[in-house]
Amino acid sequence: MTFAGNPWPQVSQHELKVMAYSDPLTGLGNRYRLRDKVKLLAAERAADPAPFTICIANLDGFKPINDLFGAEAGDEILCQVAHRLKACIPDGATVTRHDGDEFAFIFPLVFERMGAERIGQMMKDVLSAPYDLGDRNVRLSASFGFAIYPFAGEDFEELLKSAETALYRSKRRGRGQITVYSREIAQEMKRATQLEQALRNAIINDAVDVHFQPIVRLSDGAPVGFEALARWNDPDLGFVSPAVFVPLAEERGFIDALSETLLRKAAEAALSWPRELFLSFNLSSAQLMDPTTTETTLATLARVGLDPHRLELEITETAVMTSADTAARIITQLRKAGVRISLDDFGTGQSSLGRLRDFTFDKVKIDQAFISRITSDRPSEHIVRAIITMCQGLDLDVVAEGIEEKADADKLKELGCGMGQGYYYGKPVDGNATLRYLQEHYRDFLMIERG
């Protein structure tokens, strides 16, 4: 039985209000409490608009931990986060649970950017300590976006949007970043959104192209394959670097559509090459976290008609480390289908030797940072020599990236490196120019070998 206006007659109006303004898991206030407190503070300071600051914090990498250890462990982490935040924020400040793994704050006595950054650094340090889950400890980082009233907005909705914009920029820059909203940042994010829309349209219209850079056998310079590289020349924006638009596609969640388009185009081009030549293609960190990557990749090859044995997928150490278990499954599945796997940019990560132990690769690509100084810097020469010797012992092929001078190529041959690529052997060019390259170079090597 219920009574009009109150389905829980045993609960007081005060208790109902507390429930409506509280997060049931952590006991913190919720976004409604945040909204009302911000509106009240803004009204109090409207006549003489003294600044105050709001903030949104997002836990980096929470979803993989939640998926790995389960929702109960995820809830325990969120409760521990809430407890730490309540204990560390200054007097007069408020912390609320904003949404999922996001928390929001009001700092009435933080008036400017440096103060916001100091508070952010303090909270980041507090949240970085290990979380106790009974039989295990886990670590997290957090990213922060700050907005200062009235410069970033004079009402709640505008302030909140500014804080979210700042947080989004922090997430774009990596883990554990702190951003305070400014008009410059807003313009930067606006340009990124415009770029995103243009890129989405380019993918739909098949306007993103693939260029190819030769990978050669160092002993005689004969091409053995080509690396596919994305290129985008927009009618309005002009040439857009892949260092800009590829990470953007990852961040905005459509890297799979971009990658599928590029792989299809690259595989179609490879059909016109001699069958002995392989196609090298880059996988992103997002794709190594997606369990459907194997199926999508093999389906694309099947539609085009390219033998999986002719495909090599390049992955970076950072990408492997992002979601190691899923990455290991994807690598195993692809290798079982005949696809070869290369570890790209070797030597620049933090645990390269551990990756070689924990994962099965077919090839290692030595980062150009070492190759560019191999003839002038003895440590670089010794590092390259050690990598080549180690890979020979592990039965791994080796490719040196970024070869630009004959002296670099000669030194690598002397050290026993098998393959290389770089401007010395050829710049990335489109499909037609690649065919002309093969007509000029590959035919000559075939004639030498057969002669």
308 pLDDT higher than 60: yes
What's the average model confidence in pLDDT over 30-40?
94
Q: Tell me how far apart the alpha carbons of residues 340 and 338 are, in angstroms, rounded to a whole number.
A: 6
**Does residue 146 sit in the same domain as residue 206?**
no
Per DSSP, the residues of 398-443 read: EEE----SHHHHHHHHHHT--EE-STTT---B-HHHHHHHHHHHHH
Domain boundary among 148, 181, 214: 181
pLDDT band at 9 (very low <50, low <70, confident <90, very high): low
Indicate which CATH number applies to the domain containing 119.
3.30.70.270
Are residues 386 and 437 located together in one domain of the fold? Answer: yes
Residue with tokens 């002397």: 414
Inform me whether the pLDDT recorded for 339 exceeds 90.
yes
Question: Which DSSP category does 22 fall into?
Answer: B
Whether 160 and 237 share a structural domain: no
Q: What percent of the chain shows pLDDT beyond 70?
A: 90
State the average pLDDT over residues 117-125.
96
pLDDT at 346 over 90: no
Distance in angstroms (rounded) separating the CA atoms of residues 270 and 110: 59
Judged by average pLDDT, the poorest of 71-80, 224-233, 244-253, 298-307 is 244-253
192 within a domain of the structure (yes/no): no
Q: What mean pLDDT value characterizes the chain?
A: 89
Residue 145's domain comprises 13-181
Per-residue pLDDT tens for 190-246? 888 899 999 999 999 999 999 999 999 999 999 999 999 999 999 999 999 999 999
The tokens describing 441, both together, are 């170079």
Over range 114-130, report the average pLDDT.
Answer: 96
Beta-carbon-side half-sphere exposure of residue 201 (alpha carbons within 13 Å)? 11
Tell me what pLDDT residue 347 has.
66
Q: What is the mean pLDDT of residues 49-69?
A: 88
Same domain, 20 and 152: yes
Confidence bin at 12 (pLDDT 50/70/90): low
In a domain, 406, yes or no: yes
**Region 314-337 average pLDDT:** 84
Q: pTM of the prediction? A: 0.72
The pairing of strands 340-346 and 363-366 is: parallel
Neighbours of 127 (CB within 10 A): 23
On whether residue 188 sits in a domain, the answer given is no
Chain center to CA of 66: 19
Give the CATH number for residue 276.
3.20.20.450
Is pLDDT of 311 > 80?
yes
Shared domain for 177 and 202, answered yes or no, is no
